[in-house]
Structure 1
């Protein structure tokens, strides 16, 4: 399957994922974002498994989440994600969360580091973003 610059996953909010008010918990929403990013990274050839084979992995450095409307139990939502660029040591990824009527429910921005995995007694090294990722970045204009 060819991977596009954007990737979407659909979720149905289950009772085990809501708080006492019946709203999707922030932790579960963050899990949806991470799952969607993970699937997309795998499709692009930069998933955790791909990096582990090179003794590397992703590490989340910054996470910004803006919830515009609470999501209720039983609601269907779509998480869309895309890599948005890199700067110095960081690779950036954006997210939008929409409801069934395609209304924006939440949006998020993340910054990731690629780190080299070393034996326990050695210091880990932060690596620069890989040039191979650049074709997958979406510019502001394309979002």
Structure 2
């Protein structure tokens, strides 16, 4: 085999690998705002989730698969599972870079990783998420078209120990006062936004709990006017909040792991 022919074969192989690997990580830069921090002067967990969610939204918009394009086809990506790991919460005015990329597509499922770093490259938080491609008119999953998957491409997954998408519910749960879904909970899909469930759960956690891992299993979409019945459990450094309706149908199960500076009761 001649040298020129060999070079051409290698070049074709490199191009093929690049095409299969996709578009690399999509990123945007941000700065931690006063509206995003808590009493400890650090980013809140819901705000972190919103950074990740916004990053995936920007990614979709920039590859031509944004909100308007999907709505025109009565399609939407609905979150099924979050796993978020936090090394450090950034402080007020810190500059950060947020990134995301798809790691796989299987029929109607999409898998994504997320990453937040400082300007200097310090890893602050990372996440794994499973999304369902939905026909919003029929209310059921549908197969993702190849051209849409190709627009995103795929990349090797981050180094994370992925836990089960089924979040275990403790046998003993303490019931809390019910509350209605309000207008500010609702997003463009006319459902409670996925971050809002985490925000709801935060009200039942100790104030100074330093959360290091979050897992959320989304089971049923709550809509405006629904009544949510919270149930809470805490054991061995794990706090679980179950949000359900009056028929005990679960909207979401939120599990957090973390530590307290001192003993606090729920």
Q: Normalised by the size of structure 1, how large is the TM-score?
A: 0.86
Residue 73 of structure 1 is matched in structure 2 by: 92
Structure 2 distance, partners of 1:37, 1:48, is 11
- Matched with 1:105 is 124
TM-score w.r.t. length of structure 2: 0.48
Q: CA deviation at 1:82?
A: 0.6
Q: Work out which structure has the larger RCO, using CA pairs closer than 8 Å and 6 or more positions apart in sequence.
A: 1
Alpha-carbon distance change, 5 to 19 in structure 1, aligned in 2, over 3 angstroms: same
1:129 maps to 2:148: no
Query: Deviations along 1:8-27, whole A, 9 cap, x unmatched?
Result: 11111011110110110011
Structure 2 unaligned blocks of 5 or more:
1-21, 159-266
| 1:28 aligns with one of 47, 54, 60 | 47
Cα distance in 1, alignment partners of residues 157 and 38 from structure 2: 35
User: C-alpha distance in 2, partners of 1:113/1:130?
Assistant: 13
Larger-gyration structure (1/2): 2
Post-superposition offset of 1:88: 4.1
* RMSD (Å), alpha carbons: 1.8
Classify the secondary structure of the residue corresponding to 1:35. helix
Point out the more displaced range, 7-16 or 42-51.
42-51
State the 4+ residue runs in structure 1 displaced beyond 2 angstroms. Answer: none
